[in-house]
Amino acid sequence: MATSTHADHFFQTTSTLEQTERKARKAANNFGDPAKFPTKLLALVIDRHLEPSEDVAFVAQAGGDVTQLMLSSPDQRTVLRGPMAPVTCLAIHAAVDQSTGARAKTVYAGCWDKSVWAFAEFILISGGADGDLRFWSLSGQVIAAVKAQSRAVECIALDPFSPPDAPAVFFGTSQRDIFTLVLPPKRQLSAKSVVLSPILPAAHETSVYKLHFDDDGDLWTASADKTCKRLLRDSDWKADTVLPHPDFVKDVVTHDRHGLVLTACRDEEIRVWDKASGQLRHTFTGHFEEVTGLALSGDHLISVSIDATLRRWSLEPKDLQKAIQAANEASTSHASEPKTDSGMLTAEEEAELRALMEEEEADSLDKMATDEHARTTMALNLRNALANSPSPYLRAYKDSPVAWQEWTSESLALAKSHQRLIFLSIGYNACHWCHVMERESFCSPEIAELLNSAFIPIKLDREMRPDLDDIYMNFVTATTGSGGWPLNVFLTPDLQPVFGGTYWPGLSVATTLHRLSTNPDETPTTFLDILHKMQSVWAHQRDRCLQSAAEVTKQLKWFTEEGTHSHAEAPVRDASEDPPESLDLDLLDDALSHFISHFDPLNGGFSSTADGPKFPTPVTLTFLLRIGASVAYPSTHTRFGFPNPVPGILGKESCTQAASMALQTLQTLSRSALRDHLGHGFHRYSVTPDWNIPHFEKMLYDNAQLLSCYSDAWALRRDPEILGTIFSLVEYFTSPSSPILSPHGVWYASEDADSVPNFGPSPSAASPVDGHGTEKKEGAFYVWSHKRFTDILPEPDASILAAHFGVLPDGNIPAALDMHDEFLNQNVLHIAATPSVLAKQFQLPESEIVGKIKSGKATLSHYRRTQRVAPDVDTKILLSWNALTITALARAANTLATIDASRSQRCVAAATKALNFVKARMYDSSTGKLSRIFEPDSHPAWDRSASQAFLDDYAYLTTALLCMYDVTFDHSLLTWAENLHGTGGYFQAQRSDDQLFRLKPGTDNSLPSANGVIANNLFYLGAHVPHKQAQYGAKARSILDAFGVEIIQHPFLYVSMLSAVVLDQVGVRQLIVPRTMDDVTVGRYKGFGRTVDKGDVDKVMICSNGGVCRELRDGELEDE
């Protein structure tokens, strides 16, 4: 997509500019006699109750006002003020006092901020994104609330054909369904007296935006599936008419006397349809933004739009016919208009003119750049300041020609004092594209000189400041539609984002892309182009730049605030109070439905696109395994399985499907190229849906979470392949030769994706070396040419292992996915054929095949380890990721206790050693504060106290302590866990002057939500410390309540929170065993998925939420 180079366009694409220009031209029209307003119009209602001779309209504005106007004189207006947020819906109640004849009218306004406003003093019904239907008195009191069978109520309509004493209300939902209910008398109105009935469970393919009853009593619907339908009352609401549209249908009304159906579409047009035949008669064109509401006033159609205008269209037959005729004439005129060469240029002339214009603009930009360069270079001479950084990622760029600064108060002060834009580049050590951009762009003397002279270049390790990474990633994702690393953002001196993106190509790559492009007129924008552009914009349009950045920051803050918008804590709710109706166990079903719809049945895993990339998503897999554990293997529940009544709500079939999706994904991952088959561990993600072309970095947090997943999976399916993967991951974390295990007994952050392509000496003189070099290449340590692979092994072992790992003579990486020919003739190892298949292919016993694979892997692994250059390791020790690893080893120890006692003890010993290190070197017992990182190779002057911990450090370490307590029964771990947890709502980081704002994160991503983890921890802490159970439970519920609306809207983004919802409503069941009971017997009880504790009891006791205990009956666990 081409990008404009004009100085005023701020990197807008040409298509965006064309759309803007089209709307600007269209905005000049006066069709529909537009009445203009100061802000976007979001809703419209006509009042005919009190002025029968004169229709009055009420219009809802995005600015928070409601405007009353006479349709005959729209300039005569009365503005009703009060709401502070956009008004999205309106309703009117009018009454006449029979004794005095006085007229009274109440206007109700529903707002974006979840409030309902009444302008003046029956029953009001409202529905919202939380899925609740609420019934209000005129005084604003909720009489009753009913949970809809959907997560969001989109529209409500009263059935005019229902009896007055039992009115029927219809409502459309965000999940395709249409429901109805019959209102009882007001004095009998309660949640129990209101019964919801579906009239059509799947009326549309997606959200139903509007319902409208015509004079025949039939129901017309408008939907996001781009259709409007008529549902016949006399045919059980079956659809007999479908009106197709090019975009979302936002509203529908009918003019029954003239036999018309009128629809509003997101494409800005209003369509007029013949009601009897369903044929399109006319299209009213005038609005230049989305039409948000329609209403009839006599023979006039009233429309409102985001373009801030109200328009009136005559539907009188003669006027409509004139409009149709005019439209036809205009169409005929355009079609028959003769083509002329007047003003036209030949292709050669156009090219020459374009070149001249570009040259002229380039000259202008060069002059601007020269002026700015002269102004900025006089006062500041930057030098690279990364040599003493505590981050290995930053230290790797200490010799870069770019004068990189760290994110410090001093470097930020430089930006302010010299009024320069900050160029912020965020990455991490294992990031392949971070290293690519360094080679292509940051090593360029021209780019380095420009960055040093015109900007303050700052490089940041995302793993050390996840708060800043999240803030600016939100900006780039919101403005570009995607994110990733390196994350590059231009900031004002006040740290507000102006422009950002991820990888931008260097000149050589841009030239290659241009050569390969099917459109030679599209020239890729290079990083150097962007630097010149930003330099020019800052020099000559600074005020506009600052204004834009301030507005973007304001919007960004509003959209990224989760929990309560004010970031205030939610009211504390104790166990005696009912949870909010919206946070119920049905949310599990909604989340599961999402994952089912995004599941790849061929390759496993989840993706919103058919062609990748694909991530393992251990958070999702854990959630599905918990659901599956509730019914699949009831006698072998893991501790983390969901208990009853979850199976009854979801159904056995759905629970089994959840387990099946997770187990298939884990099996596929074990066989895929994402797994290092000659070493241990998993790479970060795959470029392709089949998992067989990875990006080769290995992250500690991925592998830790996957070990937990495989431990859970073993409880559901006693599959040797699952157990083998557990053994391999345990080896990765505990073997003295592991590249990520530090001498301190804790674990390094990651292994790099890139390494020097020294493939080692050839075993035979006839076989040339694959390649050598000093420039690192992605995956060089892991890939194999067919020749190298088969030369190392004897026959038939070489052929057997080549078939087993899918090694092909010309390589197994498609050329289309290897633009730079880095993997030419190379193979990524994955299990392409199992031993049973190979046994038939090579006519050998399966046991012999297994032996050859085992010995061949050892030979290949030894060759790779001794002859190749291993990837660099990021030697940062991150507390949160180490805590995940401790948790994984504790859970693996439980899994292996009755299978392999030696390995189980090794897991416990490794986890204990790591905890001891954390307590000694990363924890201050006097303050209770943690340090986020420990870097053994950092400069001695580095101040460890400056490495403040973040929310995930506290959350994940508490989980690790609880899991280790389950293994060791060491009560000091419980005490430490109690000391770590905080109170109320939880922010990602402490308040700091270098943050635009603080986030309160709730969604899961590659890591579980820290707030979700804390809520779970508090419930489990309460189970272990009964006298504080109420206190911990109340704090956990405050977290859930703070995120309630967000959880309801998108439950699949909050599965960690959903696990806590289950604990809140079902409770934590716990076994208390005698202190004298031996560890082997205790281990057996742990296998039944209960939190086990030792106590002063004579027999095994089972305790439910609240501390009520009884003696465990014989065979009770086996019967569950």
Confidence at 711, pLDDT banded by 50, 70, 90 = very high
* Better-scored residue on pLDDT, 360 or 594: 594
Interval 566-612: pLDDT, tens: 334 445 555 555 554 468 888 999 999 999 989 999 899 998 776 76
| Least trusted range by pLDDT, from 71-80, 447-456, 787-796 | 71-80
Q: What is the pLDDT of residues 678-708, one digit of tens each?
A: 999 999 999 999 999 999 999 999 999 999 9
- Give the Cα separation of 1065 and 558 in Å (integer): 31
**Mean pLDDT lowest for which of 259-268, 421-430, 901-910, 976-985?**
976-985
Q: Which pLDDT score is estimated for 378? A: 45
The closest alpha carbon to 609, from 601, 600, 618, belongs to: 600
Q: Long-range contacts: 892-896, Cβ < 8 Å, 24+? A: 892/707, 892/708, 892/711, 892/726, 892/729, 892/730, 893/967, 894/639, 894/711, 894/966, 894/967, 894/1083, 894/1086, 894/1087, 895/711, 895/714, 895/715, 895/726, 896/726, 896/730
* 844-857 pLDDT per residue, tens: 999 999 999 999 99
Cα distance between residue 964 and residue 548, in whole Å: 51
Residue 465 pLDDT grade (very low, low, confident, very high; cuts 50, 70, 90): confident
Tell the residue number behind the tokens 């959630």, with chain if given.
623
Rounded to whole angstroms, the Cα distance separating 63 from 256 reads: 34
Look up the pTM and report it: 0.65
Measuring CA to CA, which residue among 713, 688, 712, 727 is closest to residue 830? Answer: 688
Residue 19 — pLDDT band, cuts 50, 70, 90? low
CA-based Rg of the chain, rounded to a whole angstrom?
33
Q: Label each residue of 68-112 as H, E or C.
A: EEECCEEEEEEEECCCCCCEEEEEEEEEECCCCCCEEEEEEEEEC
**What is the reported pLDDT for 486?**
92
Secondary structure of 151-218 as H, E, C letters: CCEEEEEECCCCCCCCCEEEEEECCCCEEEEECCCHHHCCCCCCCCEEEECCCCCCCEEEEEECCCCC
Which pLDDT value is given to residue 835? Answer: 95
Distance CA 975, CA 252 (A): 62
The DSSP line for 123-147 is -EEEE-TT-EEEEE-TTS-EEEEEE
| Residue 12: per-residue pLDDT | 42
Phi, psi of 740, deg, nearest 5: -105, -5
Cβ(607)–Cβ(623) under 8 Å?
Answer: no
Residue type, 909: A
Q: Is 2 exposed, middle or buried (0-12, 13-18, 19+ CB in 10 A)?
A: middle
User: 490 falls in which pLDDT band (50, 70, 90)?
Assistant: very high
* 507 pLDDT tier (thresholds 50, 70, 90): confident
Can you read off the two tokens belonging to residue 62? 């995005």
Of residues 120 and 930, which shows the higher confidence score?
930
Determine the average pLDDT of the residues in 475-493. Answer: 87
Q: Rounded to an integer, what distance in angstroms lies between the CA atom of residue 430 and that of residue 740?
A: 13
Both structure tokens of 945 = 């106290």
Lowest-pLDDT range, 72-86, 115-129, 663-677? 115-129
| Predicted confidence (pLDDT) at residue 1019 exceeds the cutoff of 80 | yes
Picking from 441, 365, 364, 361, the residue whose alpha carbon sits closest to that of residue 397 is 441
Distance CA 696, CA 431 (A): 9
pLDDT above 90 covers a percentage of the chain that reads: 39
Above 70 in pLDDT, residue 302? Answer: yes
Within 13 A of 1038's CA, how many CA atoms are on the CB side? 19
Q: Coil, strand or helix: which one is 28?
A: coil
- Backbone φ, ψ for residue 618 (5° rounding): -60, -30
Q: Is the pLDDT of residue 355 over 70?
A: no
Provide the 3-class DSSP secondary structure of residue 662.
helix
pLDDT at 702: 97
Q: Averaging pLDDT over each range in 143-152, 206-215, 329-338, 849-858, which range is the top one?
A: 849-858
Alpha-carbon gap, residue 853 to 793, rounded angstroms: 11
CA-to-CA distance for 129 and 146, rounded, in angstroms? 13
pLDDT in tens, 793-806: 999 999 999 999 99
Supply the pLDDT for residue 978. Answer: 92
DSSP 605-636: SB-SSTT--B---HHHHHHHHHHHHTTSSGGG
CA gap 893, 579 in Å, rounded: 36
Buried b (16+ CB within 10 A) or exposed e, 588-627: bbbbbebbeeebbeebbbbbeeeebbbbbbbbbbbbbbbb
Please give the pLDDT value at position 761.
Answer: 56
**E strands present in 362-454:** 421-427
How would you list the strands of the sheet with 87-96, edge to edge? 87-96, 103-111, 116-119
Which tokens in the block code for residue 742?
Answer: 């530090």
Query: Which carries the bigger pLDDT value, residue 660 or residue 26?
Result: 660
Q: Which helix (H) or strand (E) holds 978?
A: helix 971-980
Identify which of 218, 136, 216 has the alpha carbon closest to the alpha carbon of residue 170. Answer: 218
Please name the amino acid found at residue 551.
Answer: E
The DSSP symbol for 922 reads: S
Average pLDDT over residues 48-61: 67
- What is the bridge-based pairing of β-strands 421-427 and 455-461? parallel
Q: Is the pLDDT of residue 1059 over 80?
A: yes
Within 10 Å of residue 517's Cβ, how many Cβ atoms?
12
The residue with tokens 């007999």 is: 240
Please state the rounded mean pLDDT for residues 385-394.
Answer: 89
Contact 389, 459 (CB under 8 A): no
Q: What integer best gives the mean pLDDT of the chain?
A: 80
How many C-beta atoms lie closer than 10 Å to residue 336's C-beta?
7
pLDDT score of 403: 95
Q: Which helix (H) or strand (E) holds 555?
A: helix 542-560
Nearest to 143 by CA among 191, 180, 183, 105: 191
Q: What is the pLDDT of residue 569?
A: 46
Helix (H) or strand (E) holding 451: helix 445-454
pLDDT at 456 (0 to 100): 95
User: Between these two residues, 318 and 54, which has the higher pLDDT value?
Assistant: 318
Mean pLDDT (whole number) for 888-903: 92
Q: Which of 93-97, 162-166, 899-903, 1076-1080 has the highest mean pLDDT?
A: 899-903
**Sign of CA pseudo-dihedral 270, 275, 278, 279:** negative
pLDDT of residue 118 exceeding 60: no
Helix ranges restricted to H, 651-771: 652-671, 700-716, 720-734
Segment of 166-175, 412-421, 608-617 carrying the highest mean pLDDT: 412-421
Alpha-carbon separation of residue 681 from 420, 733, 752, 1016 (angstroms): 44, 9, 13, 28
3-state DSSP of 108-123:
EEEECCCCEEEECCCC
Cα torsion 640, 641, 645, 647 to 10°: value is 150
Q: How many residues does the chain have?
A: 1120
**CA 630 to each of CA 373, 655, 1105: distance values in angstroms, whole numbers, following the listed order:** 66, 7, 18
The CA distance from 823 to 890, in Å, is 39
pLDDT at 627 over 70: yes
Q: Which of 250, 291, 254 is nearest to 269 (CA)?
A: 291
How many Å separate Cα 119 from the centre of its chain? 39
